[in-house]
Chain A
Amino acid sequence: MLQNIVFIILLALGGGIFARKVGKIRRNIFLGRPLDRTDRKSERWTTMARVAMGQSKMVARPVAGFFHILIYVGFVLINLEVLEIVIDGIFGTHRVFQPLLGDFYNVIIGFFEILAIGVILACVVFFWRRNIQPVARFTSLEMTGWPRLDANLILIIEVVLMSALLLMNTAEANMEGKTGYAISNLLAPMLAGVSENGLHSIERISWWAHIVGILAFLNYLPYSKHFHIILAFPNTWYAQLEPSGQMNNMESVQKEVAMMLDPNANPYAAPAEGAEAPGRFGAKDVMDLPWKSLLDAYSCTECGRCTSVCPANTTGKLLSPRKIMMDTRDRLEIVGANIDKNGSFVDDGKSLLGDHIKAEEIQACNTCNACVEACPVLINPVSIITELRRYQAMEASQVPSEWGLMFNNIENNGAPWQFPAADRMGWADNLEVKTKNAEA
């Protein structure tokens, strides 16, 4: 009875603290500017099914893709067992589904055990790829300190959770009148000499370690890159469906330009009653970004596929699309903590652009969309970069001087170069062709 009460308290506490933190992250995300991404719903469901559930982009890199799917499938399916653990914990039952499912139960648990082995194997491979023979994208500048530790902690926790599950079943396999399952039967000899009491202790300790571990891991997620296991789903659902080359329209600027060009507009007219004050052009800080960019930041798992295909980064420039996402999240967390402390955001004299992301980084972007294409969860680093560029160009007037010249040329000659517009037809001079179609 005491055990049930302890379990219920832990469950409520674990769930409650997690829900509270998720609420804060949700609040942080919606500090961003409004953006409607609720159109074309059926396409959105298909995209989410294909990219998040189906992991379609993960397999672009076959080795990482294969092992990731192993962990993903293991995680999703083994968590079905957590349902049983929760019911058992609350009501003091033991393997409540066993009598209901009969032999099929043994098959399922046996399958889960095989998956658990797969997950452990994948974690070892991933640990190897990060630490023993590191893949280049895991050792770049931004992957030191916490991001590196975070990645390793996740792998270790997953191995511990899976081991607890296997140990629990292995202990039970040795008990009087009980049987194990596919893997635990094979592992059973490991605990052969242990007394019946000892086996019960091991089984109980493992059971508690597994569920407490899961609750702890759940609460670790929102502080970690591992939060992607949840946000990958909404993030793919809300992804941009338009061609990736299409940059968003700024309606505020469109209106202003329309007014400028309208000969009947009164330039001194007061703004309409109740009209919103025009916001900042582009983004200097995280609140200036559309909320989807902030969701992107929390969804990023720092895999670095974006950075590894970035033409700027691979030719030694400072820009790293992954760092853009990590910086955005870091700054948003600081802003969130500021709000928690002060009730509402109090200017701290800092901003995303300048204190986290340097002008040199955003100026190196080719807007080639390789990073967007590479991201397994449809994050768009380019849209953050271009919003920051907009601030630089339209608010701060801090563009590279050659761009200033290019702007002038477009304004004056209608071309980015200093050629007179009158020469536009120069290409057609003396255009000699040999043709069977003689009609000129």
Chain B
Amino acid sequence: MSAITLKIDTMAELAAKGEAPEILFWVGCAGSFDDRARKITRAVAAILHEVGMKFAVLGTEESCTGDPAKRAGNEFLFQMQAAQNIQVMNMYEVKKIVTACPHCFNTLKNEYPELGGNYEVLHHATLLQQLINEGRLKVKDGGAFKGKRITFHDSCYLGRANGIYEAPRQVLEALDADLVEMKRSKAKGLCCGAGGAQMFKEAEKGNKEVNIERIEDALETQPDVVAAACPFCMTMLTDGVKNKEKESSIKVYDIAELIAGANGLIN
């Protein structure tokens, strides 16, 4: 093991050299700007590098997929964003995309094809599962999370919206951890409270925040780690844990951070 500083290629840089990556890493807005989510992005990049998968990002040529605009009702803005992104990706002849955001994943995979953007789109849960199954990604014995109680929170846009329940769980199983399910999980999983553009506004009047309701589900399992696979769920769950003043005993991690951490790839 040696420590190096990774240089992340952009599609533009590769194209200038006449090269193309095996896969485009779609970082998404949260992964690009949100401090906590940036760590997830770094973990994904470290894993892709570790397994030797040649990847690149769009960098400043990436723009919001339009998901929150579409869910908030602004189809015009969504269409503008989609047209712009599709133009860029088609120019680079993108074939395959991985993203760590289920909202980007859903939009790129389900809503772009009709607008002329046809790509093979993977959420990082699925890519990690494939890499583990193929033996390209191994988790070291006795990794930091061995035997720890981990509960996985299903993101709505990965789970119900796209039927992906097993991939993130199989990734977690590779950690040799003690996986515990919340009472509401998989198809019955409870939202973290961020979806449908709620992330970008105050909640409507009620008697409780959705993320508090959800973190109570998680706490019932007495976990060491709450695992997520979505940067917005990450925000909501982290806030929930803080609200319950449990941040010293319970950590919220993305599945990519757990894999990268178990292998000591990142600090």
| Chain A residues close to B by CB (< 8 Å) | 242-247, 249-250, 253-254, 256-258, 260-261, 281-282, 309, 311-312, 314-319, 360, 363-370, 372-373, 386, 388-394, 399-400, 402-403, 405-407, 410-411, 414-417, 419, 421-428, 430-438, 440
Contact = CB atoms under 8 A, between A and B. Distances in A.
Given A369-B161, A407-B72, A311 B191 contact: yes
B191 A316 contact: no
B220 interface: no
Nearest to A418: B33
Given A317-B204, A433-B265, A428 B73 contact: no
A256 to B, nearest CB: 8
A298 B115 CA distance: 33
A427 B44 CA distance: 12
Given A415-B33, A440-B7, A403 B197 contact: yes
Contact of B110 (A242, A364, A389, A392): A242
B205 interface: yes
Given A245-B157, A315-B209, A253 B202 contact: no
The 8 closest A-B pairs by CB, nearest first: A245-B161, A393-B73, A316-B207, A389-B73, A414-B63, A367-B196, A316-B206, A368-B191
B240 interface: no
B185 to A, nearest CB: 12
A423 to B, nearest CB: 7
22 contacts: A243-B106, A245-B106, A246-B161, A281-B75, A314-B213, A316-B205, A364-B203, A365-B196, A366-B156, A370-B188, A402-B200, A407-B77, A415-B63, A416-B200, A426-B38, A430-B5, A431-B8, A431-B45, A433-B3, A434-B3, A435-B49, A440-B4
B91 interface: no
Contacts of B170: none
Contacts of B74: 390, 393-394, 399, 407
Contacts, number: 266
Given A312-B210, A366-B194, 16 more contacts: A243-B163, A246-B110, A246-B161, A253-B79, A254-B115, A311-B193, A311-B213, A317-B204, A365-B196, A368-B191, A370-B156, A402-B200, A416-B199, A426-B33, A432-B5, A435-B4
Given A311-B191, A370-B191, A414-B62, A423 B33 contact: yes
A417 B37 CA distance: 14
Interface stretch (B24-32, B141-149, B173-181, B241-249): B24-32
Contacts of B200: 402-403, 405-406, 416
Contacts of B31: 427
Q: From B72, B114, B207, name the one whose CB has the most chain A CB atoms within 10 angstroms.
A: B72
A406 B197 CA distance: 9
Nearest to A374: B188
Contacts of B264: 434
A62 to B, nearest CB: 14
